[in-house]
Chains A and B, each alone.
Chain A
Amino acid sequence: MTRVGIDALTYYLPASAPTLAELEQRGALRGPASTLAGFGFDRARVAESESHVDMAMRAVRALLDETNTSSDEIDLLLYAGALTSSSTMECAPAPAGAVLQMRDLMDFFKYPVSQLQSELDLANASVAGIDQQGCAAIFSGVRLARATLLAEPDVRTVLCVSADRLPHGTPREVVYNLVSDGACAMLVRRGAARNRIVAMHQVTKGAFWDAGSLENEIIAAYFPTARTVIEDTLRKAGVTLNDIRWVIPHNVSLRSWEILLGLIGCPREKLFSANIARVGHTIAADNFINLRDATDAGLLHPGDLLLLFTFGYGLNWSCMVLEH
């Protein structure tokens, strides 16, 4: 079987890291800071001046530098964004008095993925944007990368990038989770030295598309479907939870992970949870930020099986098993 895996990955987080108390003071939380603290959060990462495209470029540049990868080696660039605003450029307002608003119309055709390709000089890369799956977008990026690598022999290296930044002034609390800005980038290749993709699985429940009016139903739907998706992914991978060395989470609340671990019967010790407090939930990059940090911390060993699970609005539940 052809081995496709995540050969290398990096991430970018903004320097600004206000605490819950500071965020509460700024009016950036919906409820009391103490509730979020009780659920395992401590601080968020907030992009003060960087745009989502800036963060994506910084993550990619670091990745290419670290791995001595030439920009010409990239055959396909997949750019994933969770927020609808991440799939567009930041638009300038139309000139005052403009009759046809042509400047606005053309703004709809300005794409971050094209700008990334240009700025990073990825001359050989074709591009595609992936969105409308909330925080599960980057998982779909990896899924498409693997499928392309398996289907098209000419494609050898796929660069998957994800970046999201909440618009200024938006509350940083979503369904009892603390939201951060950030980006991640990874190289997906055939014959990858590590992080072989053993299995992937995604479930979409479009009935919940109107997230704003279905918050309680979404919370209720999250847990049982998460369990089903995780169990189905393990089945696809031909392994059991006992075989999994680490669960690499999306950084939703630690409390919700404790409940989910209880649902799937997984010991708490298998959860790499260090980043939930110090990073918060970076929307679309969590699992890969955590994968990188767990690797750097020396926690992962060759052959370890890792379970990555995430959930995105839409609603989308996504899971993958990697062999480190």
Chain B
Amino acid sequence: MTTSPGPAQRTILVTGGTGTLGRELVARFARSRDASVVVLARGSAHRRPAVLPHGVRVLVSDVRHGSMLGLSETDRAMLRDSVTDIVHCAADTTFNRPLADARATNVTGTEAVLAFAKDCPRLQRLACFSTVYVAGRATGCFTEQDVGGADGFVNSYEQSKAEMEAVVRDAMGELPIAIYRLSTIIGDARSGEVSGFNAIHHALRLLYQGLAPMVPGRESGLVDLIPVDFAADASRYLIEREFIAGATYHLCAGAAKSATLGALLDATMAAFERYRPAWRKRSIARPAIVELETYELFVRSVEEAGNQVLLQATRAVQAFAYQLAYPKVFDARRADGVLAPAGISAPNVLDYYDRIVRWCIETNWGTPA
């Protein structure tokens, strides 16, 4: 079923509108003349998030607070009567959160959004953001039709998102929902700006500090990364122009635009040297790429030794690096088939990766030097 926006005023409700992707989407939606944008964001009612454009209404909310979403009766009623689009970006993207905590936001929180959506009489579209890593420990080609999880998961984030998808699919009979599975977002391809530092940026920092001796995986294994501007452009287009209820899309780099783990490590080291020439003097070696068994032995040794610094470092790398031990390629045929004619495609990661690393170095990973 394809639906197109009507001429009447639309109200787009964005959950997680201050997050890495959410804020980019809000900025794009806010440029639409026929739409008003309401953002649900956690935080103080008295402090408007600086990242949001003028004209966007912000309501303090928390999807973990049931179908009321932590809203007042008045606000909830206002939204219920006006909302035409729900863009559900709110998520706990921390990889190593206890599963119960991850579920609280990603599963229970989504159930609350779905319950609210069922009350909205004007609702035309519900866009639900997920991750391509619902594939979990699967290897090989993972398609937009695949459900994932049969081989288990690497971390609680993946599992909670897969469980979220199950909840969403169950609701597809009652609601016009599409799922958008994102690859790992690493920053803005044009400026290199990183608005949300995640596990991969933390791993880069450890590498910079010389505290990452090895990563699991294969030299030739592909690492799928996307820039936030592509993620926002692509998902906005799919939501506003080509919404298909019941569809699942992969927003990823795919095999053609991804880089191998070896090439990414080389590019990382080269960027460190280029943007911090003094770093070269520290003689930090490129981390070894090892089998998972060897990596786990190293992690176990660090744990047994009780070395707190290396323990924190290995845990930080562990959170995402285990996924590298399960090489896979994401097939995005359905998304590409819609996006390519519109001229939207993911850039080759090595064409902009250097700018991301530079941003990390120059901002000291978002913390004052």
Contacts and interface: CB of A to CB of B under 8 A. Distances in A.
A176 B214 contact: no
B4 interface: no
Interface residues of B, number: 28
Contact of A207 (B214, B281, B313): B281
Given A220-B211, A263-B214, A225 B285 contact: yes
A134 to B, nearest CB: 16
Contacts of A227: 288
B301 A256 contact: yes
A224 B306 contact: no
Interface string B306-322: 11011001000000000
A219 B310 CA distance: 9
Contacts of A208: 283
Contact of B288 (A31, A217, A263): A263
Contacts of A219: 213, 307, 310
B297 interface: yes
A31 B307 CA distance: 11
B287 interface: yes
Contacts of B213: 219-224
B186 interface: no
Interface string A250-263: 00000110110011
A39 interface: yes
Contacts of B282: 207
Interface residues of A, number: 26
B291 interface: yes
Interface string B239-264: 00000000000000000000000000
Given A221-B213, A225-B285, A263-B288, A216 B309 contact: yes
A217 B210 contact: yes
A38 interface: yes
A38 B214 CA distance: 22
B150 interface: no
Contacts, number: 69
Contacts of B1: none
Contact of A35 (B286, B287, B298, B305): B305
A223 B212 contact: no
Contacts of B297: 255, 258-259, 262
Contact of A220 (B281, B290, B301, B310): B310
A67 interface: no
Interface in B257-305: 281-288, 290-291, 293-294, 297-298, 301, 304-305
Interface string B200-213: 00000000011111
Contact of B214 (A206, A224, A255): A224
A258 B212 CA distance: 18
B25 to A, nearest CB: 39
B357 to A, nearest CB: 19
A85 interface: no
Interface string A217-255: 101111111011000000000000000000000000001
A110 interface: no
Contacts of B287: 224
Contacts of A207: 281-283
B283 A224 contact: no
A256 B288 CA distance: 14
B286 to A, nearest CB: 6
A301 interface: no
Interface string B96-136: 00000000000000000000000000000000000000000
Contact of B284 (A221, A222, A255, A259): A221
A103 interface: no
A168 interface: no
Interface in B73-111: none
A205 interface: yes
B210 A38 contact: no
A75 B88 CA distance: 81
Contacts of B209: 217
A259 B301 contact: yes
B301 A39 contact: yes
Contacts of B212: 220
Cβ-closest 10 pairs across A and B: A262-B294, A205-B283, A224-B285, A220-B213, A207-B283, A224-B288, A217-B210, A223-B213, A216-B309, A225-B285
27 contacts: A31-B305, A31-B306, A35-B304, A35-B305, A35-B306, A38-B304, A206-B283, A208-B283, A216-B313, A217-B209, A217-B211, A217-B284, A220-B210, A220-B211, A220-B310, A221-B285, A223-B214, A224-B214, A224-B285, A224-B286, A259-B297, A259-B298, A262-B293, A262-B294, A262-B297, A263-B290, A263-B294
Given A39-B301, A39-B304, 7 more contacts: A205-B283, A207-B281, A216-B313, A217-B209, A223-B298, A227-B288, A259-B297
Interface of A: 31, 35, 38-39, 176, 205-208, 216-217, 219-225, 227-228, 255-256, 258-259, 262-263
